[in-house]
Every structure is written in C-alpha cells, then in structure tokens.
Amino acid sequence: EAEVAQSPRYKITEKSQAVAFWCDPISGHATLYWYRQILGQGPELLVQFQDESVVDDSQLPKDRFSAERLKGVDSTLKIQPAELGDSAMYLCASSPPGRSPLHFGNGTRLTVT
C-alpha cells in the first residue's frame, strides 16, 4: 500500500535556528496538508494545498512558518526562527479528490532546545 513519506523522522534544533521538513504524498493525490500535533492533543491543520496552490493557511503562523509545493507534488514546511513552543509532531497528509479519507505520514518529531 502506498504511503506518505516524511523526513526527517526526528529533528533537534536550538531556538532561533531554521528547520525544514519534507513530505512526499501518495502519487496522484492532489491535496496535501500539514498538521501540527502537540503531545497529548489532536492534530491541528496548518496549511492545505490543492496542487501547487494554497487553499487554507489561516492557522499558519506566517511570521515564522512557510510552506511550499512548487511543482504540485512534494512539499516543504519551514520554521525560521524556531521557538521552544514549536516542539511538536509535524504531520503531512494527502488525499485524492472528493470526500476521501486522509492518508497521514508518520511525521517529524521536532524538539527545540
């Protein structure tokens, strides 16, 4: 079964440094999402792409977070500068058109020290 690939699996960085996460969705899935999950809570949507276009980034802290999906396939989420409160699991998901379920990757666990 095809999977959503994410890297790195774990990342430790110092506050004020820049960090980037990469996601490769399931082939053919036009919609891609980035979620953030703080320990003990459910995932919260940061940004949603349809092909290369941003559909919803209302919850993305734009002063420090940026996301791109230049060719409408893989995507990168960047944080600059990282803050202690950014420590969380960053999950990528993709879905085909319609009311199809989301397929999540196994995330990148970020620790900011």
25 binds another protein (CB under 8 A): no
Q: What size, in residues, is the chain?
A: 113
Q: Which of 45, 73 has the CB closer to another protein?
A: 45
12 binds another protein (CB under 8 A): no
Q: Tokens for 103, please give them.
A: 């397929």
31 binds another protein (CB under 8 A): yes
> From the list 46, 77, 82, 91, which residue makes contact with another protein (rule: CB under 8 A)?
91
103 binds another protein (CB under 8 A): yes
4 binds another protein (CB under 8 A): yes
Q: What angle do CA 56, 61, 62 make, to 5 degrees?
A: 80
Q: Tokens for 17, please give them.
A: 């440094």
DSSP codes of every residue in 36-104 = EE-TTS--EEEEEEETTEEEE-TTS-TTTEEEE-TTSS-EEEEESS--GGG-EEEEEEEE-SSSPPPEE
111 binds another protein (CB under 8 A): no
56 binds another protein (CB under 8 A): yes
Q: Which residues bind another protein (CB under 8 A)?
A: 4, 31, 33, 40-45, 48, 55-56, 91, 93, 95, 98-107, 109
